[in-house]
Structure 1
């Protein structure tokens, strides 16, 4: 029987697709709630070329569904929705304080 847990370094680098099967990016990082231990956000790399000039998009973890046929995560988003989504560069990681988390959750309608 397969395990229902996975190491974070196996999640990082996993592709993310929209429901149409278009690749949107890949998981760069996971943001974990210190108190509950639950993953709050998957940070997806999107844009740029070969990792250069890519932005990071925090997506609420509960929006991602793993699809074994694609060996990746599927989100109900398209590229146009990501264009206006909260994002940051690798050099300017936000604090993920309550205000920032609220803005991310509000953008995605949570």
Structure 2
């Protein structure tokens, strides 16, 4: 499923007709509604399906999107593993209306993850450091783009 399918407020209306974002008809891909991104597919650079976004985690201390919680593996929610992927590790593929995470499927299989009934303390700095090190990103406080 993609963000256009969940666009209840018409944020992206007009994009299908023009083949891409129409800046005159909404915010475009630089500014998107978080609710429309839940459920979006995530693929890697080899066009392999890595799962979908289950949640978007906001860092309320500094007003940024910190992580996308990605579901991977399992069948119909049974046996699936959740992963907090640093937001900066994802890119939006507007042509295919999905996100791209530049990791091999096997790398994600071995990523630090968690069960849907036992979420980690994402505000814990040591946990954040581990996640960012795994994906090769920097925490927001260390990121020169912030």
Q: Paired residues, what number?
A: 110
1:51 CA drift (Å): 1.6
TM-score, normalised with respect to structure 2: 0.72
| Superposition RMSD in Å | 1.1
1:5 CA drift (Å): 2.1
Runs of 4+ in 1 over 6 A off after TM superposition: none
Q: Which has the higher contact order (CA 8 A, sep 6+)?
A: 1
Answer yes or no: is 1:88 the counterpart of 2:114: yes
Greater gyration radius: 2
TM-score, normalised with respect to structure 1: 0.94
What residue is the counterpart of 2:46 in the other structure?
A: 20
What residue is the counterpart of 2:92 in the other structure?
A: 66
Cα deviation, 1:7-43, whole Å, max 9, x if unaligned, reads 2221110000001111110001111111111011111
Aligned-partner Cα distance in 2 for 1:47–1:82: 10
Aligned-partner Cα distance in 1 for 2:33–2:41: 16
Answer yes or no: is 1:49 the counterpart of 2:75: yes
What residue is the counterpart of 1:105 in the other structure?
A: 132
Aligned-partner Cα distance in 2 for 1:8–1:51: 22
User: 2:74–2:80: 8 Å Cα contact kept in structure 1?
Assistant: yes
Runs of 5+ in structure 2 lacking a partner? 1-22, 138-146
Runs of 5+ in structure 1 lacking a partner? none
Cα deviation, 1:31-59, whole Å, max 9, x if unaligned, reads 11111110111110000001222111111
Aligned-partner Cα distance in 2 for 1:10–1:17: 17
